[in-house]
Chains A and B, each alone.
Chain A
Amino acid sequence: MLRYTLLRILGAIPTLLLVIALAFVMVHAAPGGPFADDRVVSPDIEANLNTAYDLDDPLPKQFLRYVGGLLRGDLGPSFRYVDRSVSELIGGALPYSLMLGAAAMSLALVLGVGAGTLAALRQDSVLDRLIMGFSMTGISIPVFVVAPALILLFAVKLKWLPAGWSGAPGVGRYVLPVVTLALPQIAYIARLTRASLIDVLGRDFIRTARAQGLGTATVVRVHALKPAMLPVLSYLGPAIAAILTGSVVVEEVFGIPGVGQFFVRGALNRDYTLVLGIVVFYASLIVALNLVVDVLYGVIDPRVRYR
Chain B
Amino acid sequence: MNKVKQKDLILYSGLIILGLAAPFLFSAFKVQLTYLCVLIVLAMTWNLQGGEMGYNSFGNILFYGLGMYLTASVQVGMFFPLAEWTESGGEKTFVHTTAQYFQGIGVGLLVAAIVPTIVAGAIGYAILGLRGHYFAICTLGLGIAAGEIAGGIEIIGAGQGFTTPPFPAEIVDPEARGQFFYFLSFLVLVLAFVFVKYIYGSRFRLILNAIRDNEDKAEAMGIQTMKYKIVGWMCSAFFCGLAGGIMGGLIGYIDSTDVAFDGREMGVFMVLMAILGGKGTLWGPIIGATLFHFFKEGLWTFILGWQYVALGVLIVVIVVYFPEGLMGWLREKYPDRFGEVIDEKDRKAQVELK
Answer yes or no: are A and B bound together in one complex: no
Mark B residues whose CB is within 8 Å of A.
none
